[in-house]
Amino acid sequence: MELTLKTISDEEGFQAFCSLLQSSDLPSTDLDFHKDLLVGYVEDGVMVGTGGLEIYGEFGLLRSLSVKLGTRGKALGTAITEYLIEQARKKNLKGIYLLTETAHGFFQRKGFQDVAREDVPEPLKASSEFSYVCGPSAVAMHLPIL
């Protein structure tokens, strides 16, 4: 069983990506593989991990991080997060933001810090994630890119 990280670049991969998000009770209807950087880990032809980075000017929005039940514990969430952070560095972004309701501790361990929603850059506040996908109970977090 070999795990392969793939960029989502076609409709078939996108459907598998969205299917895993839905099984993890995460939103997918506002994602677009044509403009967003979406990646997934595939094992034996099955999508087992997902993550995405939306670009808004100088900042990125990390979202859609999920790992299939039964595959957790293999550090896939960490690998996906680190890959997306590295992509943000390559794009010379100043920082990455996210919203979370269930993975606050995970993202803290990755260096993200809580930030007030009103302190998030305006383009990100206008994103679907901040506008209507995640409710007010979701915690906003930020990771500066050095």
Range of the domain at 46: 3-144
Number of domains in the chain: 1
Residues 6+ apart with CB under 8 A from 13: 6, 33, 40, 47
At 58, which CATH number? 3.40.630.30
**pLDDT for residue 98 is more than 90:** yes
> For the residues 103-125, what does the mean pLDDT come to?
94
**Could you tell me which residues come within 8 angstroms of residue 84 by beta carbon, excluding any fewer than 6 positions away?**
37, 39, 51, 52, 53, 60, 62, 96
Mean pLDDT for 88-106 is: 94
- Render pLDDT for 29-85 as a digit per residue (tens, 0 to 9): 889 999 999 999 999 889 999 999 999 999 999 999 999 977 777 788 999 999 999
What is residue 38's predicted lDDT score, i.e. its pLDDT? 97
